[in-house]
A and B are shown apart, each in its own frame.
Chain A
Amino acid sequence: MNDNQKTSAVMAALTALFAGTAVAFWTNAGSSGGLAHQSFTTSRVFTNTATVRLSVAELTKSGGDVSGLDCYACHSKDKPVAPKFDAAGRLIPSVAHRDVVFSRMNCAACHAPEEKVELKFDTEGKILTPAAHTNDVAQHGRTIGNDHCFNCHDPTNLTELHTPGGKKLKLTESTLLCASCHGPSYRDWQEGVHGRHNGFWNTKLGATDRKDCTSCHDPHAPVLPRLKPLPPPFRTVLKGH
């Protein structure tokens, strides 16, 4: 092999090496796996500060639709309302009231705006209620059976509430009604320990928005519904490690 051929061979080898490196960089070879995980999960539903429900007071304040609370749009003032009970003594909720409870749920607190909600029906054409929406009327009081409408609602004036002590309250003052039985929770709520505050912790710099009882609890079924958890962190290490 003479010098000429050697030079050509070295040049060819270097060219091949550089070309190979360039191709490797171009195709990003050898870096598979590291950044393959894509999870741009932050949608508005994750950061929505709304509570599960809207209280009547909040609805009224925001100028929202309170037509569902107009009891006398359906009930006649002259005709007393008679709740019906099944054999076990549990209240049979009317279909109309189930709707009222639904309409006061804050859909956006759980559902993403773009999410499509599909209703499911049974063979008779009735809506099958999803587990998260079983907040039906009269599931208040698991132990003592506080399931009578008129324990809280005033039978003579359905737009008003009354405490067991006989004190009359407006629908927007429902927190005081809750307090008439749930003393310790009310005390904690007053101190800010129970419930949630939004806005400013420093009241000199801005307003604190203290949520009412019914912002989170459905007064007819106060136990909070079970929720679907948001996605877990991406698992980088195998389980058991």
Chain B
Amino acid sequence: MPANSSLPNLAAPAPADGGTSRRSFLRTSAAVASGLAAMAASLAPLRELSDFGSVEEFLQKHYKELTPVEMEQALARIRREVEKQYGLRPHVRDLRPMDGVEFVYCLNLTRCIGCRKCVHACVAENNQSRSPEIQYIRVLKMPNGTFDMEKGDHHYATPTVPEKGFFYMPVQCHQCKSPPCVKVCPVDATWQESDGITVIDYDWCIGCRYCEAACPYFARRFNFAEPKIPKEQINADMAYLGNRPRHKGVMEKCHFCIQRTRAGKYPACLEVCPTGARKFGNILDPASEVSQILRNKRVFVLKEEVGTLPRFYYYFDV
């Protein structure tokens, strides 16, 4: 045996001349043990890694391919996940489009005063992340006499609104008839339904953000971080394609409050508008408010030249 060997030979008796003594063995063991403990501690965050979701979610088929039984299973999984995360049993449904209904939104620019009630009602209704902040509606303060969007300011914080010399233009998803966001989606995670709402299957979205880049209205939002919503502020009335909680890494956007409107109710942004500037309804019903507006008022769509054919009309009272 060489004189400088340090490998412990447990089978042989400790050599007297520089072999592994009991002391050096204990020292090496302690060093190895503390090293392993430190490594385990440094890997500990892996245990909290939950971005992968459940196996069930991973194996789930595309929304359009789900059989009624599979949809029931998916809804049951969502109920379980929401209950685990937020501690309340949600009312999750898969609401389908109604026959003979095509939704249209009209917004009266003469009436809008820019109070942002719609923005915050939307956040509360649709379970958007509070931190980081996600909002579907952006209210632009525009100087009178121009439609140059670059002159718009959506960070205004004047003590009171409306301010003289400005008009306010809320912008949200326009639910286009020819939606560029749907065209660019590489996995068909977003599509247009028969009632005109462009929806997203949050379980199918891969988070490439092509749709965000394609939208000329800046209507789509990306979950850069795991959404944070206080438990007591969760809206338990949920829809699969609507306001069920999203995960980090998926897109979301306004869906005309699918959980309300497909159940016959008005969207949340309309119900809080203090001036009645927001109008919503079925364009196929000639007696609806939106039909009256399109017949009798001067309406226009935003960025008509890009050919998206929005279902969101702006109009004036004149």
A and B pair up: yes
Chain A residues close to B by CB (< 8 Å): 2-4, 7-8, 11-12, 14-19, 21-22, 25-26, 34-35, 37-42, 46-49, 51-52, 109, 131-132, 188, 191-202, 204-206, 211, 216, 224, 226-235, 239
Contact with A along B116-148 (1 / 0, CB 8 A): 110111011100001111010010000000000
**Given A38-B131, A232-B116, A19-B268 contact (CB < 8 Å):** no
Q: A15 CB to closest chain B CB, in angstroms?
A: 4
Q: A194 CB to closest chain B CB, in angstroms?
A: 7
Q: List 23 A-B contacts (CB under 8 A).
A: A4-B6, A7-B6, A7-B28, A12-B31, A15-B34, A22-B44, A25-B44, A37-B133, A40-B130, A41-B120, A42-B130, A47-B121, A48-B272, A193-B289, A193-B293, A198-B266, A201-B280, A205-B265, A211-B276, A227-B274, A228-B115, A233-B135, A239-B155
Total chain B interface residues with beta-carbon distance under 8 A = 69
Report the separation of the CA atoms of residues A233 and B154 in the bound assembly, to the nearest whole angstrom. Answer: 8
Chain B residues close to A by CB (< 8 Å): 4-6, 24, 28, 31-32, 34-35, 38-39, 41-42, 44-45, 98, 113-117, 119-121, 123-125, 130-133, 135, 138, 154-162, 225, 230, 233, 261, 263-266, 268, 270-276, 279-282, 288-289, 292-293, 296-297, 317
Contacting residues, chain B, for A39 (C-beta < 8 A)? 130-131, 133
Contacting residue for B160 out of A25, A42, A188, A228, CB 8 A: A228
Contacting residues, chain B, for A52 (C-beta < 8 A)? 274
Report the separation of the CA atoms of residues A42 and B122 in the bound assembly, to the nearest whole angstrom. Answer: 10
Contacting residues, chain B, for A2 (C-beta < 8 A)? 4, 6
Contact B28 A34 (CB under 8 A): no
CB < 8 Å A-B pair total: 184
With A3-B6, A15-B35, A193-B292 given, name 15 new contacts (CB 8 A).
A7-B28, A14-B35, A35-B132, A40-B130, A42-B233, A47-B121, A191-B289, A193-B297, A194-B276, A201-B264, A201-B266, A202-B264, A226-B161, A226-B162, A227-B115
Q: A68 CB to closest chain B CB, in angstroms?
A: 23
Report the separation of the CA atoms of residues A109 and B274 in the bound assembly, to the nearest whole angstrom. Answer: 9
**Given A40-B233, A201-B261, A206-B264, A11-B138 contact (CB < 8 Å):** no
Closest residue of B by beta carbon distance from A196: B276
Contact B38 A19 (CB under 8 A): yes
Contact B38 A22 (CB under 8 A): yes
Contacting residues, chain B, for A40 (C-beta < 8 A)? 130-131, 230, 233
Contacting residue for B131 out of A15, A37, A132, A200, CB 8 A: A37
Q: Rank and list the top 9 A-B pairs by shortest CB-CB distance, nearest first.
A: A205-B264, A18-B38, A4-B6, A202-B264, A22-B41, A192-B289, A21-B42, A196-B276, A46-B120
Contacting residues, chain B, for A229 (C-beta < 8 A)? 114-116, 156-158, 160-161
Residue picked from B38, B44, B273, most chain A C-beta under 10 Å: B38
Residue picked from A194, A204, A239, most chain B C-beta under 10 Å: A194
Contacting residues, chain B, for A191 (C-beta < 8 A)? 289, 292, 296
Contacting residues, chain A, for B281 (C-beta < 8 A)? 201
Contact A131 B160 (CB under 8 A): yes
Closest residue of A by beta carbon distance from B113: A227
Q: A220 CB to closest chain B CB, in angstroms?
A: 18
Contacting residues, chain A, for B45 (C-beta < 8 A)? 25
Contact B133 A234 (CB under 8 A): yes
Report the separation of the CA atoms of residues A192 and B270 in the bound assembly, to the nearest whole angstrom. Answer: 13
Report the separation of the CA atoms of residues A90 and B183 in the bound assembly, to the nearest whole angstrom. Answer: 63
Contacting residues, chain A, for B123 (C-beta < 8 A)? 41-42, 46
Q: A120 CB to closest chain B CB, in angstroms?
A: 16
Contacting residue for B35 out of A11, A206, A227, CB 8 A: A11
Contacting residues, chain A, for B38 (C-beta < 8 A)? 14-19, 22
Contacting residue for B265 out of A34, A194, A204, A206, CB 8 A: A206
Report the separation of the CA atoms of residues A52 and B274 in the bound assembly, to the nearest whole angstrom. Answer: 7
Report the separation of the CA atoms of residues A38 and B115 in the bound assembly, to the nearest whole angstrom. Answer: 22
Contact B44 A3 (CB under 8 A): no
Closest residue of A by beta carbon distance from B267: A201
Report the separation of the CA atoms of residues A173 and B225 in the bound assembly, to the nearest whole angstrom. Answer: 53
Contacting residues, chain A, for B159 (C-beta < 8 A)? 228
Report the separation of the CA atoms of residues A201 and B266 in the bound assembly, to the nearest whole angstrom. Answer: 6
**Given A11-B35, A39-B133, A224-B160 contact (CB < 8 Å):** no
Report the separation of the CA atoms of residues A175 and B34 in the bound assembly, to the nearest whole angstrom. Answer: 82
Contacting residues, chain B, for A4 (C-beta < 8 A)? 4, 6, 24
Contacting residue for A197 out of B44, B125, B266, B317, CB 8 A: B266
Closest residue of B by beta carbon distance from A224: B275
Contacting residue for B121 out of A46, A216, A232, CB 8 A: A46
